[in-house]
A = this chain, B = another copy of it.
């Protein structure tokens, strides 16, 4: 319904003849089913959050088997139009939230600006010994003490991401005693005088594995977006690593870039 949804549809590709031909040939059942619901969602006939009828009912109504129904539903899920909750049903996805991973605004602030309600829950906080991966990426000895904080973040009551935060104990002693359901950036600045100077961000599509899927209340293997953020201080020391697992249909990443300089070449 929002502009974001319609962008892919408004694209005009090069060979319209090809497209026209495709209308002549037989369209698979699952695709007609998909098109039907995609249209209803995009026109707003099905409001976000609406629950779809049970798979068995859909199969009967459309005179196709449940297997075919599930093929179509999975497709709509991949497209981000609907989502499912394990053994509870299929629902129309809410509009995506815009998120700028490099901006000077945090999650809560950014969501609030969009007129939506952000929520944060601390799932766990503990002190552990650095694994191989952590020692490499945090720049500490293997087995050195680190804090591990796991949080669930939601928009309008729907969980959209789980994150795991890794911080060296030596750098922020006593961190776990502070309230952790708010901005880590602010906390580290206020209590430890640590200012984020630079961040290295990685993103890639993935499938949600068991633990993050369970935390988000989704079926394992559903598409997701992995986003990691390494935060460096003024002296280029890594002070925090944040690993985020997003529902793939919840996010619209928006970044603004400074332009290429005159002297440099592109491409």
Contact = CB atoms under 8 A, between A and B. Distances in A.
A113 B243 CA distance: 27
A184 interface: yes
B107 A267 contact: yes
Interface residues of A, number: 88
B265 A106 contact: yes
Contact of A265 (B11, B186, B199, B204): B186
A8 interface: yes
Contacts of A106: 265-267
Contacts of A256: 198-201
Interface in A148-200: 148, 150, 164, 182-186, 189, 195-200
Interface of A: 4, 6-8, 10-15, 18-19, 22, 67, 75, 78-80, 96, 101-102, 104-110, 123-124, 126, 128, 131-133, 148, 150, 164, 182-186, 189, 195-207, 209-212, 214, 221, 223, 225-226, 228, 231-232, 243, 248-249, 251-262, 264-267
